[in-house]
Chain A
Amino acid sequence: MLDWLFQVWPGLDASAALLSLSPPGWGGNLLRGAVNSLIIALGAFGLGCMIGTAGALGKLGGGPVTRDLLAVYTTVVRAVPELILILLLYYAGTDLLNQALGALGYRPVQISGLAAGIGVLGVVQGAYATEVLRGAIQAVPRGQIEAARAYGMSAVQVFRRVTVPAMLPLALPGLSNLWLIATKDTALLAIVGFSELTLETRQAASSTRAYFTFFLAAGALYLIMTLVSTRVFAWIEARYRRGQAGARA
């Protein structure tokens, strides 16, 4: 059925053989790398959202010291390259953990690349998420929160029932951007030797010398992730915007 394509594109059969999923081809490695990338991105994004929520609440309602420390955190993380933060947090994190374990009398452990990757990218994402969520929470009309308080809701209830549903539509565009950044930042872990998509691609490319084939294939995989996530976020946004008067994208 696709014979004509092979005829107009010389070398396509060679590329297809290189990308095939069974062992002589490298497709399986690429897909495994892509799955690893996705897992890290999901973990980092989740961790980032948690840090971001805590950070936003701290920036809005915390004491002066908390606020200053959070300002330092978001400023430093947003000005220093992720690559350097990854190296710093990776070495420092492993060191501190092992020193703490040593002080408690345990033997040192080797932190898995997966956990380190999630932790480090999560801290980076947290700084950006803090700003996104802070802006969104601030944009919730004060009257709504005051009304909820007047109904006798506790602070937790107000946050869960009023603040979060009201701020989510405002935060979603920023969060969707952050998710896209998370999927692409996983590529940085290639430099510390974690076998996610970009590193698998480079290994496949340098052992077969078919650079264009593999880098373009990996690019297509990343692009698919991006385009699918854009769709998913658009759908979520449309869902959360229902019943919001006057709130448009």
Chain B
Amino acid sequence: MRAVLQPHRLGLIGLALALAVWAAVSLRWDWIPRYAALGAEGLWRTAWLLVLSTLIGFALAVPLGLAQAAGPRVLALPARWFCTLIRGTPLLLQIWLIYYGLGSLFPQYPWIRHSDLWPILRQAWPYALLALSLSYAGYEGEVMRGAFKAVPHGQLEAARAYGLSRLAVFRRIWLPQALARVLPTLGGETVLQLKSTPLVATITVIEIYAVASRVRQDTFIIYEPLILLALVYLVFAGLIVLAFRWLERRFARGLG
């Protein structure tokens, strides 16, 4: 509390408050009630795209990292190529390749068009989710490679000497320790993933950024939606940081 109450901080806080009051009074916010429902939908879509793509991406990243850290060459090389490929090209390009490429390929096969999945595959969100998940997997596969390698080898040998099976060593020693080390990095990467989600607006997924763009196009109000959007993302990023801080406290216990 004392850090906040230094005189210059009070001045800056006063300045920020004055800015906020000025923005609330003199900028135009009358469009908010009209777009509130759409905005809530967009928020929800951004949230689940972020959570699902992070979970799927991480589930892929663990084998990718393991293959690179300890796998045979047959597995390690493709895993490394995948990570290089994902990390070496822009996400926007990947999203467009998957959406326009696969999206134009699928209708050519009648059995896909007549399958029960077709109503889902006709929408944009599966492609958005796929592209975001693959991207997260590529970046985190590289992170997990380093994490798996950083666990001291003696611990794994000790666990084997205790008679634990390979699977048990992985589940109870290797993965938890790698995870605990890598949580701070993952937190930062997840904020980056949040910052990537607006890109899916370019393939007609109506998440919160797309809602703000629509407000801009409909009403010709430029700054207000963008400022509100920036605040929304700041809150999202703050929530991610808090969530990872909680995870770190929970899982990094007992790690020196």
Contact = CB atoms under 8 A, between A and B. Distances in A.
Interface of A: 64-65, 68-69, 76, 78-85, 87-88, 91-92, 180, 184-188, 190-191, 198, 201-202, 205-206, 209, 211-212, 215-216, 218-219, 222-223, 226-227
7 contacts: A68-B8, A81-B197, A83-B209, A88-B227, A185-B90, A205-B96, A223-B85
A68 B3 CA distance: 12
Contacts of A219: 85, 89, 93-94, 97
B234 A83 contact: no
B88 A222 contact: yes
Contacts of B87: 180, 226
Contacts of B14: none
Contacts of B233: 79-81, 84
Given A83-B209, A92-B223, A191-B202, A223 B8 contact: no
A215 B100 contact: yes
Given A64-B6, A80-B195, A91-B223, A202 B96 contact: yes
B124 interface: no
A212 B97 contact: yes
Contacts of A184: 89-91
Contact of B199 (A76, A83, A222): A83
Contact of A81 (B84, B94, B195): B195
Given A79-B237, A215-B96, A87 B226 contact: yes
Contacts, number: 113
B213 to A, nearest CB: 9
B79 to A, nearest CB: 17
B22 to A, nearest CB: 16
Give the residue among B11, B93, B198 with the most A Cβ atoms within 10 A: B93
Interface in B174-222: 191, 194-199, 202, 209, 222
A187 B91 CA distance: 9
Interface in B210-253: 222-223, 226-227, 229-230, 233-234, 237-238
Nearest to A220: B89
Contacts of A78: 191
Contacts of B89: 184, 218-219, 222-223, 226
Contacts of A209: 104
B93 A187 contact: yes
Contact of A190 (B92, B226, B229, B234): B92
B9 interface: yes
A201 B96 CA distance: 10
Interface of B: 6, 8-9, 11-12, 84-85, 87-94, 96-97, 100-101, 104-105, 191, 194-199, 202, 209, 222-223, 226-227, 229-230, 233-234, 237-238
A227 to B, nearest CB: 7
A117 to B, nearest CB: 14
A248 to B, nearest CB: 15
Contacts of B199: 83, 188
B243 to A, nearest CB: 14
A188 B104 CA distance: 23
Nearest to A183: B90
B230 A226 contact: no
A84 B226 contact: yes
Contact of A211 (B9, B85, B97): B97
Nearest to A69: B12
Contacts of A211: 97, 100-101, 104
Most B CB contacts (10 A, CB to CB) among A68, A79, A201 go to: A79
Contacts of B84: 223, 226-227
A206 B85 CA distance: 23
B237 A84 contact: no
A201 B234 CA distance: 32
Nearest to B90: A187
Contacts of A87: 226
A79 B191 contact: yes
A179 B215 CA distance: 34
Given A84-B233, A219-B97, 15 more contacts: A64-B8, A79-B191, A87-B226, A88-B226, A91-B226, A92-B223, A180-B88, A184-B91, A198-B90, A198-B96, A201-B96, A211-B100, A215-B101, A216-B97, A226-B89
Contact of B209 (A84, A88, A218, A226): A84
Contacts of B223: 88, 91-92
